[in-house]
Amino acid sequence: MSKGVKSILIATLIFAGMNVFVKLLSHLPVFELTLFRSIFTSIICYILIKRMNIPLFGSRRPILFWRGFFGSVSLILFFKSVQTLPLATATLVHYITPFFTTLFGFWFLGERFYKIQWLFLIICFTGIFLTQSSNANLFELSISNIGLLSGLGGCLAAAAAYNCIRKIGVSEDPNVILIHFSIVTIPISIALLVFFGGFQWPTLLEWFYILCMGILTQAAQYFMTLAYQNEKVGTIAIFTNMGIIYAIINGMLFFKEIPTPIAWVGISVVFIGLLMNVFSERILAFFKTKPQNF
């Protein structure tokens, strides 16, 4: 098992735990959570960078900035989807990110993308809509549907961020990449919090949840960054799908979110679509179809 695969397996498990705490803090503004999370990450990364005696701001600053910007947008939108959707649904939406990551990888990094992957993406969207139909009317501008749109927007932003990491490669330490993520997110979160208002001072228990969220986020982001630095974006996609199983279990255990029969069908459809996407090349080879780039 490669270093990249090991890293993504660890990151996926830790992210699942982080999502539980984000869900437990659903009554706090999402910009407040991203602000606290980023302050925590900045402090930890700064300490680690100083201990390792490496340049704080790195050598590829323009790409580091865009990684931070896209990561910030993705984080805000993903937290919003977790707050407003059942945990399993929010995770399902997030895990179609590899489609867009691979597509962006083809456009900007020259990595391979097959035409048949569009079919697998349609399968995943069908499954997501089936799952969402058990939560809300798809044709209403409800809080749940806003959460769905937030999740989809977060996927696009995350795909852009992951390709920035891939472009950076191993030229930067993961902590340098993470601190850029945080120092870009902090002013964005403050500006949005001031504009929209609603700041709430957390209780003692909520501070504990925020601390746990920050620790898990830091660890998950570190291992995720290692994964994308050391492995092709398409190769590690299959291992991220474990997060769906974790989300279903956590949703049932902590939030009594029992999927309806139609939701189970939707979850299964998405999972099948994700697996078919990962094995696109093998599927094409099985049918003796010559692979064609998008």
Residue 294 has pLDDT above 60, yes or no: no
CA distance 67 to 120: 27
Is residue 200 in a domain? yes
pLDDT band, very low/low/confident/very high, at 284 (cuts 50, 70, 90)? confident
Is residue 109 in a domain? yes
Residue 291 has pLDDT above 70, yes or no: no
pLDDT band, very low/low/confident/very high, at 96 (cuts 50, 70, 90)? confident
Beta bridge partners of 293: 114
Secondary structure class of 114 (helix, strand, coil):
strand
Residue 241 has pLDDT above 80, yes or no: no
Element at 53 (helix H, strand E): none
Give me the DSSP letters along 133-162.
HTTS-TTS--HHHHHHHHHHHHHHHHHHHH
Is residue 32 in a domain? yes
Residue 72 has pLDDT above 90, yes or no: yes
pLDDT at 79: 93
Is residue 165 in a domain? yes
Is residue 282 in a domain? yes
Give me the DSSP letters along 158-188.
HHHHHHHHHHHGGGS-HHHHHHHHHHHHHHH
Is residue 293 in a domain? no
Residue 167 structure tokens: 């472009």
Residue 186 has pLDDT above 90, yes or no: yes
* Mean pLDDT score of the chain: 85
pLDDT band, very low/low/confident/very high, at 288 (cuts 50, 70, 90)? low
Is residue 291 in a domain? no
pLDDT at 280: 74
Q: Residue holding tokens 């208002």?
A: 197
CB 226 within 8 Å of CB 3: yes
pLDDT at 153: 95
Is residue 192 in a domain? yes
171: CB partners within 8 A, 6+ apart: 59, 60
How many domains does one find in the chain? 1
- What is the span of the domain harbouring residue 71? 3-286
Secondary structure percentages of the chain, helix, strand, coil, to 5: 80, 0, 20
